[in-house]
Structure 1
Amino acid sequence: MDITAYWDFYDFPRYILARDEQGLYWIFEGGFDDEVDEYRDHFIMKCVGRDRDEALRQFEGRIAIPLDVDRSRYERVALTEIAFDESRRKRIRIGTA
């Protein structure tokens, strides 16, 4: 997937908008967990459609995945299943095994 935008970089982006090979945009969120005082070991993710402007609106406004959301409502992927390009800013790949 090509990374369109990201925020909260710590070792790698922790909040990502990416576009897959079918043209769908996905938001990934794997930020800091205040309850355990460390970064999460997974991303939650949500598909936000094919429209770039709408995907950016949902990403920038944190509409699709609001802060402090019930994380159990979303698909999730473990960090061990994710690989980034060398820069960790351009591409993300899921299912590295």
Structure 2
Amino acid sequence: MKMPAATWLPIVVYADFCDVPRWVLAGGQDDGFWLLDSRFDDDADEYPSFFRVKFVGDELGAARAVFDTGAIGDVAAAEVIAVDELQFDPTVRASVMRRV
């Protein structure tokens, strides 16, 4: 399942902020909830130029529980999206959209 394009997804919670949030739970009942992971890579000593994105369900409580584990889980099931393919709202904290 791919993250919707050209649709603003509200950011439910985020962490690990550098220019943009790097560990994000975004979405809502209409589009489901999405986990976006672009946290600091200690081996490379920098943030990656991409997000791993994974659908984590249609229920907020379950999606929040996945976020709280701090792990995206099965990386093979995650979609890879370049950081510059995502647009954040002007506050960079309220919503995110995948560009078309």
Give TM class, smaller chain: 0.7 to 0.9
Q: Which runs of 4+ in 1 moved over 4 A?
A: none
Work out which of the residue numbers 43, 48, 53 in structure 2 matches 1:40: 48
Work out which of the residue numbers 7, 10, 14 in structure 1 matches 2:18: 10
- Residues 38 and 47 from structure 1, CA distance in 2 versus in 1: closer, same or farther, beyond 3 angstroms? same
Residue by residue over 1:3-40, the C-alpha shift from the partner in whole angstroms, topping out at 9 and shown as x without a partner, is 00000111110000000572300000001111211111
- C-alpha distance in 2, partners of 1:47/1:34? 25
Give me the CA root mean square deviation. 1.8
Contact 2:35 2:53 in 1 (8 A): yes
Displacement, 1:49?
0.7
Displacement, 1:80?
1.3
Where in structure 2 are the equivalents of 1:1-97 lying within 5 Å?
1-19=9-27, 22-63=30-71, 65-66=72-73, 71-95=75-99
Q: How many residues align?
A: 92
- C-alpha distance in 2, partners of 1:77/1:21? 22
- C-alpha distance in 2, partners of 1:52/1:39? 27
SS at match of 1:86: coil
SS at match of 1:38: coil
What TM-score do you get using the length of structure 2 for normalisation? Answer: 0.82
In the alignment, structure 1 segments of 5+ residues that lack a partner are none
Q: Relative contact order (alpha carbons < 8 A, sep ≥ 6): 1 or 2 greater?
A: 2
